Structure 1
Amino acid sequence: MKGSAPKAPKSRNVLPGFGLSLGFTLLYLSLIVLIPLAGVFIRTTELSWTEFWNTVTTVRVLAAYRVSFLTAFAAALVNVVFGLIVAWVLVRYRFPGKKLLDALVDLPFALPTAVAGIALTAIYAPNGLIGSALAPLGIKTAYSPVGITIALIFIGIPFVVRTVQPVLQDLEKDVEEAAVMLGARRWRTFRRIIFPELLPAILTGFALAFARGIGEYGSVVFISGNMPLKTEIAPLLIMTKLEQHDNAGATAIALVLLVLSFALLLLINFLQWRVNRRTEAV
């Protein structure tokens, strides 16, 4: 037809179409995540509500929940502070051995958790290199909540560093230089310009480190001492129930741990969403 514009060629995606990709995604998530988690709920139905409530509210179980959540929360907070410092040093400075230090950050990912637990216990035990120096000061590290927190710090710090590091690399230095030229001091520049950009990544790193700490077992079981009501963690209590062939009791404890962890992660994701909206509005 005269005067009609030629049709633009239809763009083709490298990956399959949306429908096929979404189908594969849902199938994969169902097989790997949703169905195993649903199995926890289904297995718990073997218990009546009274049996379930009596299982998850015993003094020993509540103490294990408290130890797991408090130590994971404390370790995640410590990792936020020192992980941000490590990421800052790796991005903003050049020094000999920088690549080696950058590679060491990923060591907790590659190291078997049992090896990490044995190594930390050997160092922080009362007769260990660091534990023997702290013992005369009245500071007990191994076989205490402090030792559990140390193990979770070791396991969780890569999550914060690797989450914050790419954001720092993408930050434009022109805005920081402009703030300095206008008379802003270093702390104010960091607080008003840099930190708001890093806050979503910091919250993500905190959530990942916190979630990993709640479910960590291998690196904690050696340094904790596994004392009921004192240093016993919830994952160890689940293993104890399984060894006693109390599968329903183990899944009941796991279900509460799952629900609480999911609720806290939803809260953190909500805070991250609010921060992102506020940053985009500015």
Structure 2
Amino acid sequence: MTPSVPPRPRPGGRSWLRVTGSVGPLGIAIAVLWLSVIVLLPLAALTFHAFGDGWSSFWSAVSAPAALTALRVTVFVSVVVALINVVMGTLVAWVLVRDDFPGKGIVNGLIDLPFALPTIVASIVLLSLYGPDSPIGVHLYATQPALVVALAFVTLPFVVRSVQPVLIEADREVEQAAVSLGADSWTTFRRIILPTLAPAILSGGGLAFARAIGEYGSVVLIGGDIPRHTQVASQYIQQQIEVDRPANAAAVSVILLVISFATLLVLRLFAGRSARKERMSR
């Protein structure tokens, strides 16, 4: 007896409507509905409000000198923070994976503290430490370095937690083979370890950048909110709300949304490309 073969769908049929998986159509419908209510509808409302008075009003709002300066400061500081955390986050992940020392478990737990700690509390702590009455003599209040410190604090876990699992799963036999063949530590890291970590480092850095773009709580006190100097885009948005200009606030919010979405899209495309290369190499 020959096994029966299921008939192929006819051309023009509705095979594209078939749903496969474990949750079924009802589960997919619930997930899409929840995503729409929580994410898509608010974003659509924000975009509609930003363009409610037409393109010219939107452009006037985002091209105002104060808005451009706030966006420029935000992007600049976020890039600096992402680059710093790419280096320091990778180093912290390396130490947590490759080294053993007393209190390692406590340090590993502290990495997630910025996720749980309210960001306004972080701003109060940083103001107490680096403000006008700094007990260590470091005065960063109302400066851009203060913004860097605050944003570095809240975004560090993104890089550490992205790199750490890859380091744990890395094949150390390849590193040992390179060393046995005469490669020094730097060559081993550059030729063997770094290519393996690169996707995770890029992903963590991109997430840190996207997080820093919209941060408010950690910079609200230590940054000083000085227009055209330390005022970030989120503070500018709040200022526009307070002076009863919600359309301007919505317009700048849309710009932040576009920057964050573009960053996440690039990360997604890069991750997919890396996954395809890895499958092909196998």
Length-normalised TM-score, structure 2: 0.87
Tell me: CA distance 1:179–1:280, structure 2 relative to 1, closer, same or farther (3 Å): farther
Residues 199, 275 of structure 1: 8 Å contact kept: no
Measured after TM superposition, the shift of residue 171 of structure 1 is 0.9
Which residue is equivalent to 2:23? 16
Q: Which residue identity does 2:243 align to in structure 1?
A: Q
Q: Which residue identity does 1:50 align to in structure 2?
A: S
Which residue is equivalent to 1:75? 81
1:26 aligns with 2:32: yes
Which residue is equivalent to 2:94? 88
Tell me: CA distance 1:47–1:254, structure 2 relative to 1, closer, same or farther (3 Å): same
Tell me: CA distance 1:14–1:269, structure 2 relative to 1, closer, same or farther (3 Å): closer
Alignment length (residue pairs): 267
Which residue is equivalent to 1:251? 250
Percent identity, please: 45
Measured after TM superposition, the shift of residue 95 of structure 1 is 1.2
Q: CA RMSD in A?
A: 2.2
Measured after TM superposition, the shift of residue 242 of structure 1 is 1.4
Instruction: Give 5+ residue unaligned stretches, structure 1.
Output: 6-12, 136-140
Give the match's secondary structure for 2:187: helix
Residues 160, 202 of structure 1: 8 Å contact kept: yes
Residues 159, 208 of structure 2: 8 Å contact kept: yes
Give the match's secondary structure for 1:222: coil
Give the match's secondary structure for 1:129: coil
Residues 200, 276 of structure 1: 8 Å contact kept: no
Structure 2: distance between partners of 1:215 and 1:154: 14
Which residue is equivalent to 1:174? 173
Within-5 A mapping of 1:78-117: 78-117=84-123
Which residue is equivalent to 2:231? 232
Structure 1: distance between partners of 2:64 and 2:247: 15
Measured after TM superposition, the shift of residue 93 of structure 1 is 1.2
Structure 1: distance between partners of 2:174 and 2:97: 17
Within-5 A mapping of 1:1-282: 15-17=22-24, 19-130=25-136, 132=137, 134=138, 141-278=140-277, 281-282=280-281
Residues 203, 272 of structure 1: 8 Å contact kept: no
Structure 1: distance between partners of 2:272 and 2:108: 29
Instruction: Give 5+ residue unaligned stretches, structure 2.
Output: 4-19
Larger deviation: 217-226 or 260-269?
A: 260-269
Which residue is equivalent to 1:8? none
Measured after TM superposition, the shift of residue 150 of structure 1 is 0.5
